Chain A
Amino acid sequence: MKRRHLLAAGGTLALAGLVRPAHAAWTPSRPIEFVAHNGPGSGPDVFARALISAIEQDRIFSGRIQVANRVGGGGATAMNYMMERRGDAHVVGIWTSLWMSLPLVQAEARSLVTEMTAIARVAIEPAVIIVRGDSPYRSLADFVEAARARPGQVRQSGGSPTARDALVRQLLMAHTGARWAFISFPSGGERMSALLGGHVDMMVAEPAEIREQVRAGRLRILATATATRLPLLPDVPTLAEAGFPIADVIQARGLLAPPGIPEEAVAFYGDLFRRMSEGPAWAKYVEDNQLQSAFLSPADTAAFFRSYQGQLRDILQAGGVRVVR
């Protein structure tokens, strides 16, 4: 089998300052492989490399870590690979919310995160609800009112029906009884162009991708789709504060291992990522990209998988998406 990918080696980590976790009886005997479900330069790939760089900068672990891009099946190839590596503690998958939604709607995607070994949740990607800078909607209530007045004629641009933006829409529609159209675009750039061009009225976006447009007055933030206000946007109300107390749809990222790896290895990784998430390099990455650091221990991450999958299933079913599991 292939061990390396293009320049994938995260670089041999500096040997100096090696800190051995006190209680971990297990240590890697060969390079660790971080599995990203998309190609070089894609979201999961960039995130995997950022993790390696944070681990390296803060000298959390001195062994070699490499990124392996296991591309295909819209993420299913990487998930299948994790299942196939049963018992191999040197393989670590970079999971995103997609890893939970994919098997729910695709009969062909048979690998479930709940059957793999949870290691950690490390980050939550917050979301904000935005409209054009010259939009008549000054608050989310204005938008919902307009949608109620003209059903189907008010539009939101978004991605696939299982992505977070679609779920937030389902929850908001169920809560308010208003209905508005959801136009799917494959890339974030196209979604944003449709909004800026005035072809749609609203969009759920990540704060990092809209920062400059908001500063220039071309976009306006109506609310944050988070449980608490964002430190960088102290004046923007949360959904609940804006009068829409819907469930918080979390988009998270973290790590997992194949099923059946030793307890000690789980403890090793749990400890590794906990210390990483407390370090300054990680803090800087999180701030630069406007993420929320949200470490969960292996046991809590496993519980998160179960509860998240349950929540996802309920929202999708309520929104009329066919759920296969």
Chain B
Amino acid sequence: MARRLDRDVLAGIALAGLGGYVAWRAAGWDLLTEDGPGPGFFPLGYGVLMVALSALLVLRTLLQPRPDAENGDVAGHARALATWAAFAGAAFAMQWIGFVAGFALLSAVVVVFVFGRGWARGAAVGAASAGVFWLVFERLMGVGLPAGPWGF
């Protein structure tokens, strides 16, 4: 391929796929019943519209190619996505290790790896913020946060 795929084209293709899926699923449900529109009526409409608008987006982009301003901020994306992975991982692990441990780890990782502030500060921020959250939400307000095997 000579030209790098434009982001709008990519988004258009993805959304057309989603719209197609939505429309296909919705078409399997009742569309019109004797009591008015059925459960499939609206999702079918959303799906078809999604496909149509995505096609429009793709066509418009292909017909009026504009320079893709973003020159691929690879390092930035890697940083953001790594942060996201840490967040998702910590959130998922909380059901076993508890909120306090999960949140302390997450905070430390963000401080150390994303902001490059060193291990000492990471540990301090992690411990302090998890401690404050535990005190405020678990002790003071009684929000039931998941507890780890060590009781908090």
A residues apposed to B, CB below 8 Å:
1-9, 68, 181-182
Contacts and interface: CB of A to CB of B under 8 A. Distances in A.
Interface in B34-56: 35
A6 B144 CA distance: 6
B142 A2 contact: no
Contacts of A5: 142-144
Contact of A3 (B35, B95, B143, B144): B144
Nearest to B146: A2
Contact of B144 (A8, A181, A182): A8
A4 B142 contact: yes
Interface of B: 35, 95, 141-147
9 contacts: A1-B146, A2-B144, A2-B146, A2-B147, A4-B144, A6-B141, A7-B142, A68-B144, A182-B35
B145 to A, nearest CB: 7
Nearest to B145: A2
A9 B138 CA distance: 13
B141 to A, nearest CB: 7
A261 B35 CA distance: 46
A3 B35 CA distance: 45
A125 B120 CA distance: 61
A230 to B, nearest CB: 32
Contacts, number: 25
A8 B145 CA distance: 13
A181 B36 CA distance: 11
B142 A3 contact: no
Given A2-B144, A6-B142, A6-B143, 5 more contacts: A1-B95, A1-B146, A8-B144, A9-B142, A182-B35
B142 A8 contact: yes
Contact of B147 (A3, A8, A9): A3
Contacts of A1: 95, 146-147
A8 to B, nearest CB: 7
A6 B95 CA distance: 18
Nearest to A152: B34
A317 to B, nearest CB: 17
A7 B95 CA distance: 21
A89 B118 CA distance: 49
Contacts of A182: 35
Contacts of A7: 142
A135 to B, nearest CB: 23
Chain A to chain B: the 9 pairs with minimum beta-carbon distance, closest first: A4-B144, A5-B144, A2-B144, A2-B146, A7-B142, A6-B142, A6-B143, A4-B142, A3-B144
Contacts of B145: 2
B134 to A, nearest CB: 13
Nearest to B151: A3
B92 to A, nearest CB: 15
A74 to B, nearest CB: 15
A181 B35 contact: yes
Nearest to A5: B144
A1 B94 CA distance: 9
Contacts of B144: 2-6, 8, 68
Nearest to B96: A1
A171 B22 CA distance: 36
B146 to A, nearest CB: 5
A82 to B, nearest CB: 18
